[in-house]
Amino acid sequence: MFHVEQDLPDSLREAAEEIFGDRLELALAYGRSLATAGVERGLIGPREAPRLWERHILNCAVLGELVDRDATVVDIGSGAGLPGIPLAIARPDLRVTLVEPLLRRTKYLAEIVEELELGVAIVRGRAEQPGVLKEAGGADYVTSRAVAPLEKLAQWSLPLVHTGGQFIAIKGSSAQEEIDRSAEALRRLGAGSVEVVQCGEDLLPTPTTVVRATRESKRTLRQR
């Protein structure tokens, strides 16, 4: 059994207070859960526990900079709740739905959502399944983190947002290269205004790199 606990580093406390405000205690509780139950249940690697705040919790929560007030957000491939739960803690005005296909992960998500008393819905399934589309579709935003290559991600994400909605995917330093490689496929899938943006530039040691795109077409084509 792992018994790893990582408190908020002093160097990140000011950023965390700015991002979470009076809900910082909820974020701290979530961090403790990830570092203990999350590791024990194989949702977070043991090596990630010492860097949960910089690489996971704060890295995800700053997505709130890109989301309008009172929006609906669907987080696909949510896993241990990243980025959906940090976003829901930082932005209680949002209506967040976590989509995750694996039973053991959805069990953890249900437990932590209940423990933190978050108004977050959980849907078990894959983003591309008709039942998920019926239950969670029509959102303002779809979020994701380390789920799939950009073309596949767009194929899954765009049907879940309404026309004019956006998908915002956390990516790495090669985000623009991914966009360039997938430009034609993204166009066919109905994605417009595809761009790389940085979140948390004034708060985090390493800003979060995000690919953001708007759904321009009412019809999303299947990948050939």
- Assess whether pLDDT exceeds 50 at residue 106: yes
pLDDT in tens, 109-162: 999 999 999 999 999 999 999 999 999 999 999 999 977 899 999 999 999 999
Question: Does residue 73 sit within a domain?
Answer: yes
pLDDT in tens, 40-99: 999 999 888 889 999 999 999 999 999 999 999 999 999 999 999 999 999 999 999 999
What pTM value is reported for the model?
0.92
pLDDT on residue 220:
46
**Angle at Cα 25 formed by Cα 31 and Cα 100, nearest 5°?**
45
pLDDT on residue 3:
37
Question: Does residue 153 sit within a domain?
Answer: yes
Question: Does residue 80 sit within a domain?
Answer: yes
Question: Does residue 15 sit within a domain?
Answer: no
- Assess whether pLDDT exceeds 90 at residue 2: no
Number of domains in the chain: 1
Q: Which residues of 182-204 are buried (b: 16+ CB within 10 A; e: fewer)?
A: beebbebbbbeebeeeebbeebb
Question: Does residue 48 sit within a domain?
Answer: no
| Tokens found for residue 146 | 């380390």
Question: Does residue 199 sit within a domain?
Answer: yes
Looking up residue 92, the CATH number of its domain turns out to be: 3.40.50.150
Supply the range of the domain harboring residue 209. Answer: 66-215
Contact between 75 and 60 (Cβ < 8 Å): no
pLDDT in tens, 13-33: 999 999 999 999 999 999 999
pLDDT on residue 87:
98
**Mean pLDDT (whole number) for 161-169:** 96
Question: Does residue 84 sit within a domain?
Answer: yes
